[in-house]
Structure 1
Amino acid sequence: MLRNRASDALFRAVRTGNAFEETVERLLQAIRLGVVAPGERLPAERELATRLGVSRVTLREAIRALQESGYVESRRGRYGGTFVNVEPPRASRKGPRRIAREMGVDLHDALTHRHVLETGAAELAASRELGEAERAHLVSRLSSAGTAELHTYRRQDSRLHLAIAELTGSASLTSAVADVRMRLNELLDAIPLLERNIVHSNEQHEEVVRAILDGDPAAARKAMAEHLEGTASLLRGFLS
């Protein structure tokens, strides 16, 4: 199904060398990027272990770690399972420059990587013949980002960008977009949400989506490039 493409990309098989650590990473990506939203249930244990290519013991250990960290809770009974907490753990109070140092983030590298991936994704999405369900899904994600409250904006923004990547039909590209957004989102979370920037960002989102729906690859690429440069400018400003 269309809505599962992002989860398919994130819940892909992990490498065997660090199965526990990578399982935790994949689950956190799905939660932080809003692929599994607050209050929603993670896929069933048997299904999730199969998709990640790990044992159920490893999966349970990873879920237990997320429980202890405050990201998820387990419920028993007929409608039980593992659910994403509505109230996530408190965000770090560290400044963006300190976070960047501790993460070892090369900002130029991350921004360049994101630019190449996401402009290419927008261009490719606009070049495809989209079905009605795909078009409706994209419009829905645009609406959710445009009406999001401040405390949910980053998550809805991420879901829109992932939806664009999903429209390329490439799970590998969707996964790469998710990875680079994770590299930058902790930094973005450490800088203030500026009302004017959100208004401008939503206007740019509309331009990108309009170009994709109109089947105009060049316009989609250009609109996405301008949008990403706005985010890059904010990060460079706060980290300078």
Structure 2
Amino acid sequence: MFKTVKQNKAYQDVVEQIQEAIMEGALKPGSQLPAERELKEQFGISRGTLREALRVLEQKGLIEIRTGVAGGSIIREINSENLSENLGMLIRNRSVSLHDLAEFREGMEGDVAALAAQRAAKGDLAQLVELLGEAGGHLKQGRKGWDAFIRTDEQIHLELARMSGNQLFIAVLTSVYRNIHTYYENYLPWSKELLQENFDDLRNIVAAVSEHDAEAARQMALEHVRRFNGYMEKKQV
């Protein structure tokens, strides 16, 4: 199945060949790569080079390395969770700049809110209103409720993504909101007034979505994200 690799950056060649075999369907999810000895012979490489390649493939979410009697390198199913995990590592390591994150959110959040308004069912709206009520309750607790408020704010954004029905939006925004805390902690100028402003924005977005007003939801979400991105970028300077 595989070809002997060039010795210059051999592990990268191994990664590319196995990755291509997975993408083309030659290696199916749940199947197992050949044993290390066989792979070494096919590629013409050392054990160290092979293990480096397998480590990279595992980091990419393409294989799972299992140990023990039933161990081996198992091909993983490629789905939105893989994408979410990889993006999450970039965000947690702050490999994505605040400016890049701000541009990304401005380009996506408005569309997500508009789709949510168009596609929302009664059950979805009830969940959204319930989360908004929780956010308001946390805000009334004062400073001790701020962390819980931010967590609920994130849940509201994720619920909007889920309501959009777009699997790519869901995967990407799930990754963003699961890992955005480091940016909030470093760049968000925390205050009672700012969190109240945040809550007012959320209430307006939820109202527009509840009324199935896609354009109003889009505009309110966009203005909300732009304003809060601006607050964080000012603190960064």
TM over 0.5: yes
Q: 1:153 aligns with which of 110, 131, 149?
A: 149
Q: Is the 8 A contact 1:208 1:224 kept in 2?
A: yes
Q: Is the 8 A contact 2:158 2:177 kept in 1?
A: no
Cα RMSD over matched residues?
2.9
1:180-200 CA deviation, whole Å, 9 max, x = no partner? 335643111224421101101
Question: Which AA in structure 2 matches 1:127?
Answer: Q
CA distance in 1: counterparts of 2:233 and 2:107, whole angstroms: 18
> How many percent identity over aligned positions?
23
1:110 aligns with 2:110: no
Seen in structure 2, the aligned counterparts of structure 1 residues 238 and 120 have a Cα distance that, compared at 3 Å, is: same
Q: Hey, what does 2:166 align to over in structure 1?
A: 170
Question: Which AA in structure 2 matches 1:114?
Answer: R
CA distance in 2: counterparts of 1:22 and 1:156, whole angstroms: 30
CA distance in 2: counterparts of 1:20 and 1:200, whole angstroms: 43
CA distance in 2: counterparts of 1:161 and 1:17, whole angstroms: 34
Q: Hey, what does 2:127 align to over in structure 1?
A: 137
**Structure 1: 4+ residue segments shifted above 6 A:** none
Q: Is the 8 A contact 1:114 1:180 kept in 2?
A: no
More divergent stretch after superposition (203-212 vs 103-112): 103-112
By how many angstroms is 1:151 displaced? 2.5
By how many angstroms is 1:56 displaced? 7.8
CA distance in 2: counterparts of 1:194 and 1:144, whole angstroms: 19
Q: 1:214 aligns with which of 211, 214, 218?
A: 211
TM-score, normalisation: structure 1: 0.56
Q: Hey, what does 1:73 align to over in structure 2?
A: none
| Structure with the larger RCO, 1 or 2 (CA within 8 Å, 6+ apart) | 1
Seen in structure 2, the aligned counterparts of structure 1 residues 180 and 151 have a Cα distance that, compared at 3 Å, is: closer
By how many angstroms is 1:20 displaced? 6.4
CA distance in 1: counterparts of 2:233 and 2:201, whole angstroms: 20
CA distance in 1: counterparts of 2:228 and 2:63, whole angstroms: 35
1:95-128 CA deviation, whole Å, 9 max, x = no partner? xxxxx9x724322221111111211100111112
Matched residue pairs, number? 155
Seen in structure 2, the aligned counterparts of structure 1 residues 215 and 53 have a Cα distance that, compared at 3 Å, is: farther
Question: Which AA in structure 2 matches 1:155?
Answer: R
Q: Is the 8 A contact 1:211 1:219 kept in 2?
A: yes
Seen in structure 2, the aligned counterparts of structure 1 residues 155 and 18 have a Cα distance that, compared at 3 Å, is: farther
Q: 1:195 aligns with which of 192, 216, 219?
A: 192
Question: Gaps spanning 5+ residues in structure 2: where?
Answer: 1-28, 30-53, 68-90, 139-144
1:122 aligns with 2:118: no
1:50-71 CA deviation, whole Å, 9 max, x = no partner? xx985787xxxxxxxxxxxxxx
SS of the residue 1:108 aligns to: helix
Larger Rg: 2
Seen in structure 2, the aligned counterparts of structure 1 residues 20 and 140 have a Cα distance that, compared at 3 Å, is: farther
* Aligned ranges 1:1-240 → 2 under 5 Å: 103-128=94-119, 130-148=120-138, 149-182=145-178, 184-190=180-186, 191-240=188-237
